[in-house]
């Protein structure tokens, strides 16, 4: 069975990687769908985010990453996905994801699996990581090493 783990991943965090690993333990294959949300302001360009996701998940057998444009349900159909996997840090995330799961199911019948964030990552978000990094703080504990290096490089050039 194949699952899709969608997100904007700006940047990918250790919490994201944890959800991807856990999804891979459940499903034979996992495709990480790296998309864009028109209401968000991004630190990294789409190609950079895709590159960072691929680098951060390179050691997880059975995981690939592709760009997501358009509807997630169309992406899932095109990739032969059996399910969508989403992580939820708390009640607000869960409530949002349940609504999305219901909509995606009504469109295509695809099921969504919602994995609770691991306790050590439950407070980490890409938004907080971006804020820490852009204000000169150290985001290293919250992101894969490849992301920490890219954030440091970006900060050095700003």
Per DSSP, 100 falls in state H
Residue 40 annotated as catalytic: yes
- Read out DSSP for 65-98? EEE--S-HHHHHHHTT-SEEEEEE-SHHHHHHHH
Which H or E element spans position 120?
none
Tokens of 114: 């919602």
Catalytic residue, chosen from 8, 22, 24, 126, is 126
**36-59 b/e (C-beta count within 10 Å ≥ 16 → b):** eeeeeebbbebebbbbbbbbbbee
How open is the CA angle 76-77-80, to the nearest 5 degrees?
85
Residue 86 sits at φ, ψ, to 5 deg, of: -130, 145
Catalytic residue, chosen from 79, 89, 105, 154, is 89
Residue 16 annotated as catalytic: yes
Catalytic residue, chosen from 40, 77, 102, 106, is 40
Residue 106 annotated as catalytic: no
Residue 79 annotated as catalytic: no
Rounded alpha-carbon distances, angstroms, from residue 83 to 17, 32, 96: 18, 12, 17
Catalytic (active-site) positions: 16, 40, 89, 126
């Amino acid at each position: 069975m194949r699952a899709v783990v969608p997100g904007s991943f700006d940047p990918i965090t250790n919490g994201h990687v944890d959800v991807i690993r856990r999804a891979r333990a459940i499903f034979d294959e996992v495709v990480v769908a790296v998309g864009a949300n028109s209401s968000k302001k991004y630190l990294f360009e789409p190609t950079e985010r895709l590159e960072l996701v691929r680098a951060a998940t390179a050691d997880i057998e059975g995981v690939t990453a592709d760009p997501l444009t358009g509807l997630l349900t169309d992406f899932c159909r095109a990739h032969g996905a059996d399910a969508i996997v989403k992580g939820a840090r708390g009640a607000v995330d869960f409530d949002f994801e349940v609504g999305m799961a219901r909509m995606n199911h009504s469109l295509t019948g695809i099921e969504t699996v919602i994995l609770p964030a691991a306790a050590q990552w439950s407070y980490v978000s890409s938004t907080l990581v971006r804020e820490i990094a852009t204000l000169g703080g150290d985001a290293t504990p919250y992101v894969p090493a490849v992301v920490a290096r890219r954030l440091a490089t970006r900060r050095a050039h700003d």
